[in-house]
Structure 1
Amino acid sequence: MKTCLATIILILSFCSVNLYAQEIDTVPFNTKGMDIKLKRSPLPSRQGPLNFEPVNIKPLVVNAKVNYWKTKTNIGINVNQAQFSDNWKGGGTNSVAVGGTVNYKAEYNKNNYSYVSEVILQYGKVKNKDQLQKKTNDRIYWDNKASFQLSKSWFFFGSLNFESQFDNGYSYSRNGDGQEVATLISKFMGPGYITESIGFEYKPVNYFSTRIGTGTARQTLVLDTTLYRTNSKNFGVEPGKKFRNELAFQIVSSFDKDIFKNTNLKARYNMFIPYEDISGSRIDHRLDIALTAKINRYMNTSITGVILYDKDTDAKVQASQALSLGFAFTFPR
């Protein structure tokens, strides 16, 4: 009996030791900050020599070219039409108006050199019932400028531009019978302007620049020598002659930026001061403004205006304004 009791006590003791050992094994032990090193294996190890062999890799040739040119073309077409029945009591006149614009700009930039060529073509006509057809817009403008960067915002430039119109221009009056009469007052190259300029350009940001043309020459051409009969000033050219040359100081400021989402404001101011009359009585001013709002991918609306003061054409300030809604296409999109 005593032997059996001793055996049971021995078995229970052995089991309790095993349980205690298992509990100890499961207790987490923090080894942070302790320098524990693994014992190096006493078994010898040998590493053979590494053999490197040259491998011929064919060079990868990328067939890519850097294009220093950026081009953009805008084409706009505007059509307006109104028609009334013969018994329409609200009053009105049947009319059809068509207009078109083409703006092309090419820009080259490489290192400190840049070249910009810009073409603006505008033409429009309106025809009212029982009246002669009339122009609503007519302009040819081509500007070329090459520049070399001197500092972050200053450039030395040289420019050449040409300006004229496509079609004959008329003034309108009525004769004794009440009929409308057109009198020719301008035409293609009557007048035409060619302007060369060199100087310095200030361009602090991409959308604004000012050219200061200290050396500027402008040629005014009136190839039809009979225009002086209906235009007494003859655009500053002596009657009977076709050409006039002027040396001047010129300032040209340009602004072109999206001021709101899908709304662009473009403005250009030109001041021309002839050296022969530096006092200021014959300073020419011209301001062109165009505000264009994009309706969708193919339609937009725009309002344009021109303010001109040129004593060689008229002693008073001249102004024009147009509001249009039409189709617009831009390349590349």
Structure 2
Amino acid sequence: MKKLLLSLLILPFVVTAQDADSTKSSNWTYAGLYSFSMSQTSLTNWNAGGENSLNLSALIRQAADFENEDWTWANTFSATYAVNYQGSSALKTGDNLEYTTRLDRNINEKKTWRTSAFLNFRTQFVDGFENREATKPISTFMAPGYLTAGLGFTYKQEDFTLYVSPVTLKQTYVLDDSLSAKGAFGVDAGSTLRNEVGASLNASYTKAITPTLDVTSNLNLFSNYVENPQNIDVNWETIFLLQAWENITVSWHLHLIYDDDILVQNPDPVSGDFTSPGTQFKSVLGLGISYAFGKYKED
């Protein structure tokens, strides 16, 4: 199942790998960002204590956009994975698999405003654990999985794109029996699916700030019309990429999440399960190699 899904997501972008030097073909424009970074700590007779550790992280972001006089079809596939090795144990520290597609129809002469249909799918590759000692996963492939689809309007101006949808369907999947039984990620206990209807906003910005510094930022907001509309789901991801020398780069990856249905604070003293929602934040600073072209690297 995982291999089939991954193949279907990557298929529209295979042509880019065949011709990475050409970012435009007919009405299609391609872009890509590939990054790998690592850090290592090695200790020998270190009196202050500590353990040997190794951090590895990888990022793939691929875009394929179609545009003619009236229509625009934008597609983005991204995948990230990070792991920390400490002593003889390993712990996943980052994991994301995401595909976004949006079909736009121009409605003004400057092509800045468009009517749009939007779809986003997001999940992860492998099991996630609370810590190194844990034996039961707190997340896994398609637990959770998120599918968001809607109709709305898009404003696009150079490096900035804003999509607003007053009619959005959000589905949360928990296709793991143990997590489903606990009602994880907002589904009813024993259920594998939760449906929500509301409004959504997506804002994205991609810019080469200097010849050596690039930034990519993507913000997603969602409000459920039926249940607690004031509790807005937030998913905001920003990547800074500094080219230190040729393909050697310094990357800074920031990720903020708030979802009122995901419990991450105040563990119950008996069960150990979390009982309250909270803001999740991740910051990863890395040194590694990267390659970018198209809109992710404006020369």
Specify if TM > 0.5: yes
* Structure with higher RCO (Cα < 8 A, 6+ apart): 2
Which residue type is aligned with residue 115 of structure 1?
A: W
- For 1:70 and 1:245, the matched residues in 2 are separated by 35
1:325 to 283, 287, 291: 287
Corresponding letter in the other structure for 1:188 = F
Residue 24 of structure 1 is matched in structure 2 by none
Does the 8 A contact of 1:171 with 1:182 survive in 2? no
CA-to-partner distance for each residue in 1:260-288, whole Å, 9 max, x for gaps? 231111111111011103641x3211211
Q: 1:259 to 1:331 in 2, by over 3 A?
A: closer
Question: Which of 185, 194, 209 does residue 147 from structure 2 map onto?
Answer: 194
The alignment's TM-score, normalised by the length of structure 1, stands at 0.73
Counterpart for residue 146 of structure 1: 103
1:128-147 CA deviation, whole Å, 9 max, x = no partner?
015x3111210001000110
Is residue 102 of structure 1 aligned with residue 60 of structure 2?
Answer: yes
Supply the distance in 2 between the matched residues of 1:66 and 1:98 (Cα, whole angstroms). Answer: 35
Judge conservation of contact 2:142–2:175 (CA < 8 Å) in 1.
Answer: yes
Q: What is the CA–CA distance in structure 1 between the aligned matches of 2:105 and 2:93, rounded to whole Å?
A: 39
Q: Is the 8 A contact 1:233 1:313 kept in 2?
A: no
Aligned to 2:143, what secondary structure does the other structure show? Answer: coil
The alignment status of 1:161 with 2:114, answered yes or no, reads: no
Q: 1:109: how far off? A: 0.9
- TM-score in terms of structure 2 length: 0.81
Q: Is the 8 A contact 2:78 2:97 kept in 1?
A: yes
1:121 is the counterpart of 2:83: no
Q: Residues of 1 paired with 2:27 and 2:84: CA distance? A: 42
Percent identical? 26
Q: Figure out how many residues of one structure are paired with residues of the other and give that number.
A: 257
Deviation of 1:99 (Å): 1.5
Give 1:147's aligned amino acid. Answer: D
Q: Is the 8 A contact 1:170 1:186 kept in 2?
A: yes
More strand by share: 2
For residue 82 of structure 2, what is the amino acid of its counterpart? G
CA contact (8 A) 1:263 1:293 kept: yes
Identify the residue that residue 26 of structure 1 maps to in structure 2.
none
Number of the residue aligned with 1:277? 227
1:41 corresponds to = none
3-state SS in 1 of match to 2:220: strand
Counterpart residue number, 2:19: none
Residue 235 of structure 1 pairs with residue 185 of structure 2? yes
After superposition, the Cα gap between the structure-2 partners of 1:126 and 1:210, relative to the gap in structure 1 and judged at 3 Å, is: same
Within the candidate set 208, 211, 221, 1:258 is matched to 208
Alpha carbons of 1:311 and 1:66: their partners in 2 closer, same or farther (altered >3 Å)?
closer
Counterpart AA for 2:283? Q
Which of 244, 260, 269 is residue 194 of structure 2 equivalent to?
A: 244
Rg comparison, structure with higher value:
1
CA drift of 1:246 comes to 1.0
Residue 57 of structure 1 is matched in structure 2 by none
